[in-house]
Structure 1
Amino acid sequence: MKLEDFGYNDNIDKLKIEHNLEGFEIGRIISEHKERYVVKTEKGEFDAEITGNLRYTANTREDFPAVGDWVALVIYDSYSSIIHKVLPRNSIISRKAVGQFGDLQIIATNIDYAFIMQAVDRDFSINRIERYLTICNTSNVQPIIILNKIDLISEVLLNELIATLKKRINNVPIFAISNASKQGYETLKEVILKGKTYCLLGSSGVGKSTLVNTLANKQFMITKNVSHFSKKGQHTTTHRELIILDNGGILIDNPGMREVGITDTSYGLEKTFEIIFEHSKHCKFKDCTHTIEIDCAVIKAIENGEIDALSYQNYLKMEKEKEYFEATVAEKRKKEKDFGKMVKHFKKLKKSRKY
């Protein structure tokens, strides 16, 4: 395959020239395994590591390569290569790292569209969809909602579910499919464009792996049924991987996410909950929290039925998470700065004692 099949275009070619990378091989990271990468180039696929300098100068996890990145590398033999630079990204989908203080986890980079996938037969949640929408809107990635397993519910119930979804979420395409019967697949394939990159988001057990296999027309991913004991999805995808689909689209599959932590996503929240922000312009106080203030236009709109009450509650929860994340990041940076000052002072003191 050519690099164009993996999304290479004139913009990436310009970045290569701007950053003086003509002497390097250019490739795209198609999978990652604990800071070891598989990179696709015009010469083939290569295992790769990053240079010591790239590792040393990295300040955060965002400075490391991720699936979807275009990188400049040197190929040493038929198996190994070294990544020297990550080309600037046009988008990054990320979430709050699970169990880590003030850190981000990159889901994928250089994404054009995101498939937000949910099954309609079990823990369907519009709140969770709004979370995925927020991280997509933060990165200016176009979201597409996929409702799977529609063969397990009646048409009447499906129509009611879609109507409820559209009441809370506007201007986002919704596709209803069945992995079992393949209903809705042909319509979904029409929005997948050659050379564009799609990221698959959703919990375990919603049918992501089966979707990938069907769209790629190959058995890329192992599939499992929902656990009969826990009634929850089982993790069949264990790492992120970039796959070329049967019609030329590019899809990045992801392990199932049960936690979708919100970060510093003010723009993302504003776009996801646009109706709330529009009403907030008419609040009496500029710093209105839309909870207890007098003459709050948002609360009035909820009482009048103009804003969905459940969506409002979800917004408040996510706004609180955003503020907490911003506070933890600030605290972490202060600790790192104080530690840096202490080390600098220690080195200065040690140097002065030599004389």
Structure 2
Amino acid sequence: MNLKELGYTDLIEETRKELQLEQFGIGRIVAEHKERYVVRAADGEYEAEITGNMRFTARSREDFPAVGDWVALTVFDADFAIIHQVLPRYSVLKRQAVSHSGEVQMIAANIDYAFLVQAVDRDFNLNRLERYLTISYSSNVSPIIVLTKTDLIDEQPITEITESINHRIKDVPVLAISNETRDGYEALNNVIEKGKTYCLLGSSGVGKSTLLNNLSGQNRMKTDAISKSTNKGRHVTSHRELTILENGGILIDNPGMREVGIADTTSGLETTFDDIMDLAQQCRFKDCTHTTEAGCAVLTAVEKGEIDQSAYENYMKMEREKNHFESTVAERRKKDKQFGKIVKDYKKKDMKNKGR
């Protein structure tokens, strides 16, 4: 396989040379299974593990490979390789790890566009869309909203949903499709460029796996129906996997996400809620919290109906989450630093005692 078909560019090659990694092979992570990886290279596909040194020096989960990463590797036999280094990423999609305060969960790396997928019959939620937008913008990934299952409702509700999106979310393409009838697929295929990498983000049961199967022309991912008892999607996709589509685009599927925690997303929030951020510059006080202050331009705009009340409430909720995440990370780093100092002092004291 030609590496360019996997998204390899001249810039990545220049980076590889700058890091003096020419003696290693090069490949892209196409799947991950509990710290064992599948890497696709020009001469084939390999199961791979990272070196012990990479594992030992990793400071956080972000230092481990993720689906979409380009890695330097050594092939040892027909189907096994060792990963020596992850090449610098130009984008990283991530969210706050579920049930692990202050930790980040990697979604995928080196993504150009994110398809934000919601089903119009049951899943549609503007607040969740703004969350996906925020993590996309903070990761330097361009979002595209995809509304699925249009065959299950009438045209008028679809128009109303599209209008509600355009009212709150500006300058983001909105595509409405049916995985059953393939309506809207022509427009969707037109936005997928050869050699560019796309990622599917959405809850379980919105049709991501069926969408991937249809675009790839293969039955790559198992699909399932919505649970009749809960009306919620089942987690069909159990891992992230990179697939090359029929038209040359590259698509990464993801397990459904019911929680989209905000992590380190100042720039993301500023872009998603740019109208609120612009108004914030007009507030009487520079440290305005936009809650109760007199002279708050944001609150005034909400009262006048210039800013949607739900958008304002969603922004405030995510801002609190961001601040909590950042304070948790800062506290963890402080504790790690203190622990490191204790260990260092203990070792120094131990060496003195041994020298007596």
Q: Please classify the TM superposition score into its range, dividing by the shorter chain length.
A: over 0.9
**Corresponding position of 1:331:** 331
SS of aligned partner of 1:310: helix
Identical residues among aligned pairs (%): 59
Offset, 1:140: 1.3
Q: Which ranges of structure 1 fall in alignment gaps of 5 or more residues?
A: none
Aligned residue-pair number: 355
Matched, 1:352 2:352: yes
TM-score (norm 2): 0.99
Q: Give CA deviations for 1:223-262 in whole Å, capped at 9, x if unaligned.
A: 0000001110001100000000010000010000000000
Q: Give CA deviations for 1:103-154 in whole Å, capped at 9, x if unaligned.
A: 1011000000000000011131000000000000001110000000111111
Q: Counterparts of 1:45 and 1:189 in 2: how far apart (Å)?
A: 27
**Corresponding position of 2:121:** 121
Q: Counterparts of 2:74 and 2:343 in 1: how far apart (Å)?
A: 35
SS of aligned partner of 2:255: coil
Q: Give CA deviations for 1:198-233 in whole Å, capped at 9, x if unaligned.
A: 010000000000000000000000000000011100
Q: Counterparts of 1:217 and 1:303 in 2: how far apart (Å)?
A: 50
Runs (4+) of structure 1 moved beyond 2 Å?
A: none
Structural RMSD (CA): 0.7
**Corresponding position of 1:318:** 318
Offset, 1:79: 1.6
Is contact 2:27–2:72 with CA below 8 Å preserved after alignment?
A: yes
Q: Counterparts of 2:192 and 2:89 in 1: how far apart (Å)?
A: 21
Q: Counterparts of 2:278 and 2:101 in 1: how far apart (Å)?
A: 33
**Corresponding position of 1:71:** 71
Q: Counterparts of 1:229 and 1:105 in 2: how far apart (Å)?
A: 30
SS of aligned partner of 1:8: coil
TM-score (norm 1): 0.99
Matched, 1:275 2:275: yes
Q: Counterparts of 1:294 and 1:150 in 2: how far apart (Å)?
A: 45
* TM alignment of 1:1-355, pairs within 5 A: 1-354=1-354, 355=356
Q: Counterparts of 1:243 and 1:287 in 2: how far apart (Å)?
A: 47
Letter in 1 for 2:18: E
Q: Counterparts of 2:101 and 2:353 in 1: how far apart (Å)?
A: 37
Offset, 1:87: 0.4
SS of aligned partner of 1:293: coil
Offset, 1:350: 1.3
Q: Counterparts of 1:200 and 1:129 in 2: how far apart (Å)?
A: 13
Letter in 1 for 2:273: F
SS of aligned partner of 2:77: coil
Q: Counterparts of 2:52 and 2:106 in 1: how far apart (Å)?
A: 21
Q: Counterparts of 1:99 and 1:347 in 2: how far apart (Å)?
A: 34
Q: Give CA deviations for 1:288-328 in whole Å, capped at 9, x if unaligned.
A: 11110001000111111111110000000000000000011
